[in-house]
Structure 1
Amino acid sequence: MLESIHHIVLFCKETELSKEWYEKVGFTYVNGFDGMHWFKLGGTYIMLHPSDTTNPGMTAIHAGVHNVEEMFQHVVSQGLEPLDHQQDSKRIDAPVERPWGDVEFELVDPDGHQWAFTQIK
């Protein structure tokens, strides 16, 4: 039976550029082979796969974090720009509390894949 997601494949035009971005965010690098790169996120792997096309704006992944403020400060210190996708991807200065109770912020990787970092309750 189903137990978990083993890995998610994200198609990237420049996997080396994407690899650098994922390292800045704080994902744990596992290994690479032939332009592909694997990162670990909890019990799931994120695979960056070379491709001529991507799905910008079509992929949205929410990662749970224990301290959203700390994560926010980390990504800012790495030169990344946290966004609020519900405000036309406007740059924000702090995590946002959603009407449904989540506290989070978003980042967009070099290929347009959206990542939300959400406080674990």
Structure 2
Amino acid sequence: MRERRSAQIESLSAVTLTVSEIGRSVRFYETLGFERKPGDSVPGFASFALGGDQRTPPAYLNLLEAPHGPFGGWGRVIVYVSDVDAFYERLRAAGIAPAFAPSDAPWGERYFHVLDPDGHELSFAKPRG
């Protein structure tokens, strides 16, 4: 069978997390520094644009107010930031308590975690080296 190289995964467009109270979650993510996607508002839904430039479109973190399924509402999102330690201090100054101080991981990133109001784990990281 001939391998198809023209149909490859190119990028991640969006991740959607379910939340129990959309207003509370939007305020939390805005406090973290996420920028809400401009446009029409849809009840129970919010979208935040991450990154992007003239060459690449942004990725989106979406929040959907909905009941949690049989596995609960846990999810993890890893977001790269320009300076892990400075971002950590910024969140602490805003009253957000990270799970631990920035650490160097064996997989080559410096990172720390924050839990959102619904228990989703947000990892803020930067590759080392």
Bin of the TM-score, shorter chain as denominator length: 0.7 to 0.9
Q: Which has the higher contact order (CA 8 A, sep 6+)?
A: 1
Higher strand share: 1
Contact in 1 for aligned 2:84/2:124 (Cα 8 Å): yes
Structure-2 residue corresponding to 1:88: none
- The partner residue of 1:19 within 26, 29, 54 is 26
Kept in 2, the 8 Å contact 1:65–1:120? The answer is no
**How many residues in Structure 1 have an aligned counterpart in Structure 2?**
111
What secondary structure, in the 3-state scheme, does the structure 2 residue paired with 1:33 have? coil
Go from structure 1 to structure 2 and tell me whether the alpha carbon gap of 1:3 and 1:99 turns closer, same or farther (over 3 Å shift): closer
Task: List aligned pairs for 1:27-106, cutoff 5 A.
Answer: 27-31=34-38, 32-42=41-51, 43-53=58-68, 55-57=72-74, 59-83=75-99, 92=100, 94-106=101-113
Normalising by structure 2, we get a TM-score of 0.78
Name the CA shift for 1:67/1:48 in 2 (closer, same or farther; >3 Å).
Answer: same
Aligned-pair CA distance for 1:79:
0.6
TM-score under structure 1 normalisation? 0.82
Q: Which segments of 5 or more consecutive residues in structure 2 lack a partner in the other structure?
A: 1-6, 52-57
Offset, 1:66: 1.1
Query: In structure 2, how many angstroms separate the alpha carbons of the residues matched to 1:119 and 1:77?
Result: 20
Greater Cα radius of gyration, structure 1 or 2: 2
Runs of 4 or more above 2 Å deviation: 54-57
Q: CA RMSD in A?
A: 1.6
C-alpha separation between the residues in 2 aligned to 1:13 and 1:108? 14
* Unpaired stretches in structure 1, ≥5 consecutive residues: 84-91
